[in-house]
């Protein structure tokens, strides 16, 4: 068994788009059609070099693309198996808490100590974690469209003239991708491959379970988890886990946190969820993640448009669920029908049906029901402005159609298009004209749909961004 971490460990995880199954994915009776994206959150873990005889007991987290984006944490092993408690240390004039980073560190380091049987926190060496996000995660209002960049291009990671809290997100799932890649970096950096191997099914299952637990704790609620599943496994159909899976985990630092966390993460499925499924179900983990049921036809791409407005997703979800409770029969009929159409779309995409009107017709029929759900619940899932935009986009040569993804609202649209430069140029020209006439701002992002989930990376990709 390796005695300690490697010098540098680099991993990345993709963003997501819930192409079909918005709101439905909150209920285990239904599934979501989730695509991973080419835009990725990267985390690079480096051992901190110290002078002989000097021992640090801290984790430094850098997000060098943004201003004032460095966090330093102390950590110690809590009494009564409370796991690793993480405390932010003041490094400047003010503290800027980052609950996603802090919670992920606590969960990840606790799991490391449990797995390696470590009894003292000082046996976890200090390290520096550098976070780099592909450009399309953030709106860049004063810059031209962020084109899809080669992995080794210096333009892949932009420097933003603002703090992280001041940046406008494009809704690609940055928090889930961050928690997943940060968790993967911690486990890969501190654990030998016989205890954690990111390239194996067992390693991905461990990562999925731990990242789900940390992400739910950081956001203060148990979400559906489709975004973390996409970050780990890439494109898939997803059936959520029961919220009760995580109900027995105490807060970090509380008695029994370490043992409870390890038990939940290590739980395994007795039967699985089908030949095409990955990711575990267990006495707790009843998630179903089917990779083999999702594909895009050759010559078709999934593209994203940033509408640069933003929606209050939490309040929208509450209103939709309140409508569902008040009209159980009508809402069930609508959701059952929408589920069938979503499944038909997944089948058509997997079977490569690009030569007829099947996919455009299915997208139109799905949008019809989504608008009906919005009308009956009083929620702008597909607002009128987005309806007009999608209808117009669907007339552009090479565009099969699109949807307002996920929970809907004003901040993005997803398109299925012919995957060629001529179509991309027509789309960019159309959106420039639309923006001028509408007074808004809509741009085609460089990001595309992608199949692959979390992966190890070559540290050479990040030349110029890492401290020595």
Nearest to 209 by CA among 154, 264, 270: 264
Using only the alpha carbons of the chain, give its radius of gyration: 22
Q: Give residue 438's pLDDT.
A: 86
pLDDT (tens digit per residue) in 419-465: 999 999 999 999 999 999 988 889 999 999 999 999 999 998 998 89
Q: Give residue 276's pLDDT.
A: 42
Measured CA distances, 128 to 33, 45, 167, 337 (Å) = 36, 6, 23, 50
Strand partners, 131: 43
pLDDT tier, 169 (very low <50, low <70, confident <90, very high otherwise): confident
Contact yes or no for 180/454 (Cβ under 8 A):
yes
pLDDT (tens digit per residue) in 48-74: 876 555 556 889 999 999 998 899 999
| Distance from C-alpha of 302 to C-alpha of 296, rounded to nearest angstrom | 8
**Backbone angles phi and psi of 401, in degrees to 5:** 145, 180
Q: Give residue 50's pLDDT.
A: 66
pLDDT (tens digit per residue) in 97-146: 899 999 999 999 999 999 988 765 557 889 999 999 999 998 765 544 44
Q: Give residue 122's pLDDT.
A: 56
Contact yes or no for 300/348 (Cβ under 8 A):
no
Q: Give residue 56's pLDDT.
A: 67
> Residue 151 above 50 pLDDT?
no
Q: Give residue 182's pLDDT.
A: 98
Measured CA distances, 441 to 97, 427, 444, 446, 455 (Å) = 31, 14, 10, 16, 34
Contact yes or no for 121/110 (Cβ under 8 A):
no
> Residue 309 above 80 pLDDT?
no
Measured CA distances, 282 to 90, 134, 209, 221, 241 (Å) = 41, 34, 11, 21, 10
Nearest to 400 by CA among 433, 374, 367, 369: 367
> Residue 283 above 90 pLDDT?
no
What is the model's pTM?
0.91
Beta strands in 141-287 (DSSP E): 236-239, 277-278
Contact yes or no for 303/360 (Cβ under 8 A):
no
Q: Give residue 166's pLDDT.
A: 84
pLDDT (tens digit per residue) in 181-213: 999 999 999 999 999 999 999 999 999 999 999
Question: Mind listing the domains of the chain with CATH numbers?
Answer: 8-294+454-462 (3.30.230.10), 300-450 (3.30.70.890)
pLDDT (tens digit per residue) in 239-275: 999 999 999 899 999 999 999 999 999 886 533 333 3
- Per this entry, what is the length of the chain? 468
Measured CA distances, 112 to 65, 190, 191, 234 (Å) = 29, 7, 7, 25
Number of Cβ within a 10 Å radius of residue 105: 26
């Amino acid at each position: 068994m390796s005695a300690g971490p490697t010098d540098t460990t680099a991993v990345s995880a993709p963003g997501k788009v819930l192409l079909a199954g918005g709101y439905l994915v909150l209920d285990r009776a239904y599934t979501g059609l989730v695509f991973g994206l080419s835009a990725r959150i990267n985390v690079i873990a480096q051992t901190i070099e110290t002078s002989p005889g000097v021992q640090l007991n801290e984790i430094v987290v850098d997000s060098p693309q943004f201003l004032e984006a460095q966090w330093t944490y102390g950590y110690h092993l809590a009494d009564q198996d409370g796991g690793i408690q993480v405390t932010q240390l003041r490094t400047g004039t003010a503290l800027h808490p980052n609950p996603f980073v802090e919670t992920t560190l606590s969960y990840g380091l606790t799991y490391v100590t449990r797995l390696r049987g470590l009894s003292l926190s000082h046996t976890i060496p200090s390290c520096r974690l550098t976070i780099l996000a592909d450009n399309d995660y953030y709106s860049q209002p004063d810059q031209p469209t962020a084109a899809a960049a080669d992995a080794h291009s210096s333009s892949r990671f932009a420097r933003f003239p603002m703090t992280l809290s001041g940046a406008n997100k494009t809704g690609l799932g940055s928090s889930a991708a961050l928690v997943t890649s940060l968790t993967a970096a911690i486990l890969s950096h501190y654990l030998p491959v016989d205890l954690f191997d990111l390239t194996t099914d067992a390693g991905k299952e461990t990562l999925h379970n731990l990242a789900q637990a940390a992400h739910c704790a950081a956001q203060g609620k148990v979400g559906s988890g489709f975004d973390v599943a996409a970050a780990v496994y890439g494109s898939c159909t997803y059936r959520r886990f029961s919220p009760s899976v995580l109900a027995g985990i105490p807060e970090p630092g509380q008695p029994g946190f370490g043992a409870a966390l390890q038990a939940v993460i290590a739980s395994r499925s007795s039967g699985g969820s089908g030949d095409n499924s990955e990711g575990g179900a267990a006495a707790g983990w009843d998630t179903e993640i089917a990779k083999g049921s999702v594909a895009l036809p050759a010559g078709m791409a999934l593209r994203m448009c940033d509408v640069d407005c933003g929606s209050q997703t939490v309040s929208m979800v509450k209103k939709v669920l309140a409508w569902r409770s008040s009209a159980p029969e009508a809402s069930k009929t609508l959701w059952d029908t929408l589920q069938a159409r979503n499944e038909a779309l997944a089948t058509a995409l997997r079977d490569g049906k690009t030569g007829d009107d099947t996919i455009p017709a299915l997208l139109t029929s799905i949008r019809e029901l989504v608008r009906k759900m919005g009308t009956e619940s009083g929620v702008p899932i597909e607002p009128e402005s987005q309806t007009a935009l999608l209808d117009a986009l669907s007339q552009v040569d090479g565009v099969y159609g699109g949807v307002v993804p996920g929970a809907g609202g004003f901040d993005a649209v997803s398109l299925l298009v012919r995957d060629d430069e001529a179509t991309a140029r027509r789309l960019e020209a159309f959106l420039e004209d639309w923006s001028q006439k509408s007074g808004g701002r809509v741009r085609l992002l460089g990001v595309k749909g992608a199949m692959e989930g979390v992966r190890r990376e070559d540290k050479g990709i990040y030349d110029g961004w890492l401290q020595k």
